[in-house]
Amino acid sequence: MPFGTLMDRFVEDIPPKGLVMCHPGIPDEELRALDPVVDQRRVEYDWLGGHGLPSLLAKQNLRLSRFFE
């Protein structure tokens, strides 16, 4: 399932002050040796850095915030 579709599902029923967490990253050999799902990290990184996140936030009327807010 495409990551954008998963994110849509993750935020559909998010409660007030809810949290969605993911683990974006740029794979390298060190990370690949430590993490069996390293390729998914790149998918998340690319989606979050592209047009997907701003579109999702606008569609769901959400905003990014720091964890301690």
- Higher-pLDDT residue of 65 and 33 is 33
Return the pLDDT at 43: 94
Residue 41 lies in a domain: yes
Task: Determine the structural domain holding residue 49 and report its residue range.
Answer: 24-54
Residue 11 lies in a domain: no
Residue 48 lies in a domain: yes
Residue 47 lies in a domain: yes
Return the pLDDT at 15: 85
Residue 4 lies in a domain: no
Round to whole Å and give the CA distance between 38 and 25: 8
- Say whether pLDDT at 22 is over 70: yes
Return the pLDDT at 48: 92
Residue 38: CB atoms within 10 A of its CB come to 18
SS (H, E, C) 8-65: HHHHHCCCCCCCCCCCCCCCCHHHHHHCCCHHHHHHHHHHHHCCHHHHHHHHHCCCCC
Average pLDDT of the chain, as a whole number:
87
How many folded domains does the chain comprise? 1
Share of the chain above pLDDT 70, in %: 97
